[in-house]
Amino acid sequence: MIHRVLTQLGRSGRLVAAGLMPALLAGCSLLPPGMGGGAEKIKPADLAPNPALLGVRAAWTSRVGEVSLPLAVSVMDNRITLASGDGTVTSLDAATGRELWRASAGTALAAGVGSDGDVTAVVTRSNELVAFSGGKERWRQKLGAGTFTAPLVAGRRVFILTADRAVSAFDGESGRKLWTQQRPGEPLVLRQAGVLLAVRDTLVAGLSGRLVGLNPLNGVVRWEAPLASPRGINDVERLVDLVASVDRVGDTVCARAFQANVGCVNTARGAVIWTKPANGAVGVNGDDQMVFGTESDGKVVAWRFSNGERAWTSDQLLRRGLTAPLALGRSVVVGDSTGLVHFMSREDGKALTRVATDGSAIVAAPVMAGNTLVVVTRAGGVFGFVPE
């Protein structure tokens, strides 16, 4: 599971890998029961027969290299851009799966992909930010720390959230660094994607347990909205980083604080609308009616967008290693660790149908590009489905 490994900030400010003992992991509920490193193997919940209440057509398949990084699939118009762990970056036509271009960063990647359709950016394990245009490398810049969050490309700039809780901006044409804003936080950070997005004229970042609004022109902080506060007696128990993905509706952004809360913030005012306790490790998605999330034990939960009250909880996918969800029409779509993609009713969480991929784990939240649902597997399979 991608949240097993944490990164620790040393006294010198450098990032040091921190391997955590099984007892420590189990004690702070970072892993579901039975995944504390012992011999016991978790058995996913058995599935009922596929009800096949929703038609889903397999449209195309493609392949990239093995995906060993926290992957964000970039969607722009009818194109998707994604990356594999070996540094290969690929752009595909979402309707047909046809390859538009392919490039390489020349080394293994730690995070990707961000794109505005012109500039595409990834981050290498050697802490380099690499930008491509039309499949050709445009520039690369050395970062002061590692990152597990895909770059955000917007407004002719490339924004980066690094693991030392700094947000930086680079010129999209030249790669010149424009500014850096660093905020204090707890000494441990998650080795998984955090929150970084643009909302109108504000850059919104997840820093520790807070959503922070920044001026994208100079990095000045406009507001801070706490979704969760550090708690507990050790650094692991106090970890409350915000995790991708998020649900954005107009000025409202709803996000998850790791193993703590789910909540929504009005980004025009920097005001928390509501927060609710939640025990999950991946982000949320939804619309102006519901916010959907998957918990660490495999429960799928729907909260009402207006006030955070629970609308329903489903336990049919327990222990199946679920991705963050995607709200899609009358469905909620999640992938699991066996390569299955589940379509559930947005009204009550009941199963509608499921489709198979290549048997390896789905590694990123499903995305919709045009009329095509796209999922990516650990083995590098890229699958396009069309709900009918």
Nearest to 165 by CA among 153, 150, 147: 147
Q: In percent, how much of the chain has pLDDT > 90?
A: 82
- Is the pLDDT reported for residue 11 higher than 80? no
Task: Write down the pLDDT at residue 185.
Answer: 67
pLDDT value for 233: 73
Peptide bond into 245 cis (omega under 30): yes
Place of tokens 């692991």: 236
Give every CB contact of residue 233 below 8 A, 6+ residues apart in sequence: none
Q: What is the pLDDT of residues 321-338, one digit of tens each?
A: 999 999 999 999 999 999
Mean pLDDT of 351-360: 98
pLDDT-wise least confident of 27-31, 271-275, 285-289: 27-31
Helix residue spans in the chain (DSSP H)? 22-27
CB atoms under 10 Å from CB of 270, counted, come to: 18
Q: Are 33 and 338 in contact (CB under 8 A)?
A: no
Report the C-alpha gap between 84 and 107 in whole angstroms. 11
| CATH code that applies to domain 6-38+54-387 | 2.130.10.10
What is the tens place of the pLDDT at every residue in 48-74?
999 999 999 999 999 999 999 999 999
pLDDT for res 41: 67
Token pair for residue 66?
Answer: 């093995």
How many CB atoms are closer than 10 A to CB 295?
21
